[in-house]
Chain A
Amino acid sequence: MTEPTGLHAEPAPIAEVEKLAVTFQRRGETIHALREVDLTIRPGEVLGLVGESGSGKSVLGSAILGLLPAGASVTGRVLVDGVDMIHGGERARRTVRRLSLGAVFQDPMTSLNPTKRIGKQLHEVTGSDDEAVRLMESVGIPEARHRLRSFPHELSGGLRQRAMIAMSLAGGPKLLVADEPTTALDVSVQAQILDLLRDLCDDLGLAILFVTHDLGVASQVSDRIAVLYGGRQAELGPTADVLTRPRHPYSAALRSSRLTLTTPKQLQISSIEGETPDPSRPVEACPFGPRCAFHDTPCDNGLPALRAAAQGNTETACVREAELPADLTAVGTGAEWPATPITTPGPALTVRGARKSYRLGRGQRAVHIAALDGVDLTVARGEAVAVVGLSGCGKTTLLRSIAGLVELDEGELTLHDTGAPQVVFQDAGSSLTPWLSIGDLIEERLRGTGLAPDAQRARVEEAMRQVGLPAQLRTSRAAELSGGQRQRAAIARAIVVPPSLLLCDEPTSALDVSLAATILNLLGRLRRELDLALLFVTHDLAAARLVSERIVVMESGRIIEDGPADEVTQHPAHTLTRSLLAALPGPGRREQRQRYLTTSEDPNAALARTSGT
């Protein structure tokens, strides 16, 4: 890629990636992480790099930083500031890293040194305390001079990430590589960090490569979006175009499976069927082919490359783009929900005056934190209720006490039907005993039912079929399954004996967008077919609205709002609910947020206030 020279030349790109292919060896298999990707990052732009897990997005980020693991074999070029970050000399690469590049990672707790004070760590990269304070102030850390003496664990997640950003800004970099910088954060903190990154880009002329799995997050900060799939670029274009007129079926499907407050509730969420391609068996065809609704013979003639779309302003790697319908986002909307059986009226669960507090510290300095501070909640048979709130609001404690994993200090909890409630945990992988097979784990729940071994086996296979798991996986262990399959297995275990109440603890927050939609659909279908009451704990109001009929908002161990899902999302009564809604990522969300927060000069401060302590 050569830049035209002359008076009206575009400024030279800050980073250029040419035909970059990266492979790793893992367990004797060759993993093709990136397959000849081209990418240019211009000075002062935010480039959103969007892809699901296994798409190669993080590998691309590491390649630009020149930090690929030693075992990787690389072809192609990565130029940052004119220096080859793959084959260049170690000294030159180090200079580029120090002077031109900054990096922000997902978890600031692991990328900051926990044994050193923030000030000392910043001093190391800036050379002076005054500069450290200036940087901390520039990223919006209040009382910066005072915080110099803090250790990383003494800061909140949001402040830690700000400190990490401050560190990456030392030396005045031209390009910041941010790899999922907000994934570990609460929605409202995420919104603040996104605004901060955007401001840095606008004020300092910094270019940012923003790596994320969430199209919504990317669309809020990015000027351009590159969509990665199976180690290849699927689409590249200005944010607004990729979002409103995607010209690759994959980016269109990603867009439609995103959960927003306007996604129609009556239908199932549109989702991408099938699994992501196996990186150890690359095919010389469009990697999205097997999952694509428009798949046809020309798609299998070699790896498609990016080229300008015939309809629209993006570059797409879809060879059939010209023949595709003009509006790809309308394609493949979800099917209708199955009919709900008539539910016996009455409550499935009643919670009265539930209180639970935890002690922090010991002896004289002990502090009691109320996780539940007088919660009343009723869930009717067959009803789906979402419990929403920021981390630390007590929503998970509530779920755990209903499951019987936590004992209440006070209050009463009545389950009106026989059979213990079942839980689908946030991280399905860690809720499946690693050394037992899926079949054994599901079958355990049938112990004591008096079923004959044959009948138990049949019931296990039936449950696996209901959640869409092939029966031959019954002998597999959790580690051999994909993320989506693990979540399905966990759900199969929960429903093999249908419980009267199914508790879901953020079951989709660890999953990719398209998978999350599939799992939400599965839960929605199962609860209707099996007539389950559902208690769905989440921090995502968009997901809450789609899954449930009622939304309950919690703050500091109390329920502060309780109403029909659409009512709560459209006419929120409480300020916290409003700030949660405003914090949902998406294009133009910032303007809405500021409009809502007109009373305050600083939106971040207002959000921080409402989120409370």
Chain B
Amino acid sequence: MVVTVLAVLAPHVQPHDSLVPVGAPYQPPLSGGALLGTDQVGRDVLSRVLEGMSVSWLATLLLVAVVGLVGTAVGLVAGYVGGLLDRVLMAIVDFFLALPAAILAIVIAAVLGPSLKHALIAIGVLSWPYYARLVRAEVRSLVALPFVEAARLSGNGHLRLMVRHILPGAWPVLLVTLTLDLGGTIVILAGLSFLGLGRAAPAPELGAMAAQGLPYLLTNWWIPVVPAACVMLLALVANLSGDGLRSLLKDQ
């Protein structure tokens, strides 16, 4: 939550423009007005990292939300209706799950061309079936419960039954999984842009920054290490909030 607010505010708190050099290149942290130093062309690392984190976080959030929605819809319908439709939908899901995700993401992103949008599409296409499976399994176990039967006898229609009497039961598991997966998605996104398949060149992106900074690892360590550490930080925050959410939901 706090991270999201920070991400939205990032453009306003960053001390310098992330694209324009602010001073001499290769300045170490805590020198010459740049808290985390400057990179190979003299741009402020702190500003670039902040913007990169903000973009990564918001993009991942959006992605996970959309993917979760699609997966939930498919899983809910498949689990509720059952029978032939269930089998067809799950066959599609199994097809996607059988694909080697990481490689295919690279292929998709490469074919579509490097851009943040395309990287997101690549990850999204490959991750929704996972949530469809998850939600379907939850729904299958909920459908058989007496309160669903009782609600059906109360004269509720199919849609109302699904949305009001079944879906809320699948929420906790779904929500926790989604939050926990935020971290993984951030890492994958950074990985794609590390390979040059993410956001286009001058714009700051954590994975790309780490990649471009790699040659300077031994001489000017902060240039690749700071963005890499930021990826780790984001993933950690996501995982911790997932754990927090889980214990919160368990208490209820």
B155 and A447 contact, CB distance less than 8 A = yes
Nearest neighbor of A434 in chain B, beta-carbon distance: B147
A434 CA to B147 CA, complexed, in Å: 8
Considering only residues 148-187 of chain B, those with a C-beta below 8 Å from chain A are: 148-156, 164-165, 168-169
Chain A: number of interface residues, binned into ranges: 20 to 34
> Does any Cβ of A come within 8 Å of B146's Cβ?
yes
- Contact: A431 with B146, CB < 8 Å? yes
Partner of B165, one of A404, A425, A433, A447: A433
Q: Given A430-B145, A435-B168 in contact, is the A423-B153 Cβ separation under 8 Å?
A: yes
> A436 touches which one: B145, B146, B153, B164 (CB < 8 A)?
B164
Which of chain A's residues have a CB closer than 8 A to the CB of B151? 433, 441, 444
Within 8 A of B (CB), among A398-450: 403-405, 420-423, 425, 427, 430-436, 441, 444-445, 447-448
State whether the Cβ of A252 lies closer than 8 Å to any Cβ in chain B. no
Q: Given that A435-B168, A435-B169, A436-B164 are contacting pairs, would A430 and B147 also be in contact in the complex, using a CB cutoff of 8 Å? A: yes
> Smallest distance from the beta carbon of B77 to chain A beta carbons, Å?
20
Asked if A420 and B150 make an inter-chain contact with CB atoms under 8 angstroms apart, the answer reads no
The listed residue (B150, B153, B155, B168) touching A432 by CB distance below 8 A is B150
| Majority secondary structure of chain B interface residues (helix, strand, loop or mixed) | helix
Contact indicator B154/A493 (Cβ below 8 Å)? yes
Interface: A582 (CB within 8 A):
no
- Chain B residues with CB under 8 Å of A433's CB are 147-148, 150-151, 164-165
User: How far does the Cβ of A419 sit from chain B's closest Cβ, in whole Å?
Assistant: 10
| A11-49 at interface with B (beta carbon < 8 Å) | none
A490 to B153, CA, bound (A): 12
Q: Is the CB of B146 within 8 A of A425?
A: yes
Output the least CB separation between B84 and chain A (Å). Answer: 17
Q: Give Cα A551–Cα B134 distance, bound, in whole angstroms.
A: 46
Question: In the bound complex, what is the Cα–Cα distance between A445 and B154 (angstroms)?
Answer: 5
Residues of A within 8 A of B155 (CB): 420, 444-445, 447-448
A residues near B150, Cβ cutoff 8 Å? 423, 425, 431-433, 490, 493
A433 to B153, CA, bound (A): 13
Chain A residues whose C-beta falls within 8 Å of the C-beta of B152 in the assembled complex = 405
User: Measured between alpha carbons, how far is A427 from B146 in the docked complex, in Å?
Assistant: 8
Question: What are 29 A-B pairs with beta-carbon distances under 8 A?
Answer: A404-B153, A405-B149, A420-B153, A420-B155, A423-B150, A425-B149, A427-B146, A430-B146, A430-B147, A431-B147, A431-B150, A433-B147, A433-B148, A433-B150, A433-B165, A434-B147, A434-B169, A435-B168, A435-B169, A436-B164, A441-B154, A444-B154, A444-B155, A445-B154, A447-B155, A447-B156, A448-B155, A490-B150, A493-B154
Chain A residues with CB under 8 Å of chain B are 403-405, 420-423, 425, 427, 430-436, 441, 444-445, 447-448, 490, 493
Extra 7 A-B pairs, beta carbons < 8 Å, given A434-B147, A444-B155, A448-B155: A404-B153, A405-B149, A434-B169, A436-B165, A441-B154, A445-B154, A445-B155
